[in-house]
Structure 1
Amino acid sequence: MRLALLTDLHANREALSACLAHAEQQKADQYAFTGDFVGYGADPAWVVDTVMQYVARGAVAVQGNHDYSVTRETRPQMHAEAREVIEWTRGQLNAEQMAFLRELPLTEERGNMLFVHASALDPIKWEYVTGIEEAERSLRATHCKMVFSGHVHKPSLFRRADDGRMGSHTPEPGARIVIRPQHQHLVIPGAVGQPRDGNCSACYALYDDVTRELTYFRVPYDHGAAARRVIASGLPIVFAMRLIEGI
Structure 2
Amino acid sequence: MSLLDELVGDCASRTWILAHLDYPHKDWCLFWPFALNQGGYANVGGKGLLVSRIMCEHRNGPAPADKPDAAHECGNGHEGCVNPWHLVWKSRGDNLRDIPKHGRRPKRYKVTPQQVDEIRALKGRMRPRDIAEIYGITDNNVHQILKGKIWKQERSDLRIFTEEEVRLIRTTSWQEKSAKQFAKELGASEYQVYRVRQGLSYKWIDCPSLPYEKQKSKAQLAAEALALTRQMLGSQE
Does the alignment reach a TM-score above 0.5?
A: no
Which of structures 1 and 2 has the larger relative contact order (alpha carbons within 8 angstroms, sep 6+)? 1
TM-score in terms of structure 1 length: 0.25
Q: Give the structure with the higher percent strand.
A: 1
Q: Give the structure with the higher percent helix.
A: 2
